[in-house]
Amino acid sequence: MTAGERRLLEFLGGRLEAMLHRPDQWGPPLVVEQLVFQLLEMRALVLDPAAAVNQKHRIIRSFVRFMKESVPDATPEPLAVQLERQGRGAEFANILRKFVGRELIEATGEKLQAAAGLDQQEQPGDPALDRAERLLELFEGKAKARMRRAAPPRVDPVDLGSRKS
């Protein structure tokens, strides 16, 4: 993975995180939903250009499967439209966040499996294995940062000692 690819992945990850954290700042739910799909597609293209071109609708198919599991009576309509019609518009960000999390985990798992399955006799410096390891490091760093932000602030006790006058 080149430095440019890594920066682009970090940008895409940051943008996804920002949109899912405060979707109302990015536009109406339907627009946010479309932007999230585009960011996921761009991310897939950076990670594996050949697979992204050959599997143009993979993310949408994955989303349709997710919808069938997550939203009762799911229809082919966009998530935002369905939730609004069901009076569940407030759940939009949470459901979309779950999908993106699942998609990132699945995409990473597929990349690691592909890298591991290429050759049972990998040599040190194998490009596919190196790329998978760098991806794993990137996601581990993002997960740790997310956990730090979610944790309550740590306050260390201060020992004032006993004051004798």
- DSSP structure string for 100-139: HHHHHHHHHHHHHHHHHHS-TTPPTT-HHHHHHHHHHHHH
What is this structure's pTM?
0.65
Q: Which residues contact 95 (CB under 8 A, 6 or more apart)?
A: 70, 71, 79, 83
Give a yes or no: residue 147 inside a domain.
no
Give a yes or no: residue 156 inside a domain.
no
What is the token pair recorded at 23? 């979707």
Between 88 and 112, name the one with better pLDDT. Answer: 88
Give a yes or no: residue 34 inside a domain.
yes
pLDDT digits (tens, 9 = 90+) for 50-104: 776 677 688 888 898 898 888 778 888 899 998 898 898 899 999 999 999 998 8
The total number of structural domains that make up the chain: 1
Give a yes or no: residue 71 inside a domain.
yes
Other beta carbons within 10 angstroms of residue 64's beta carbon come to 12
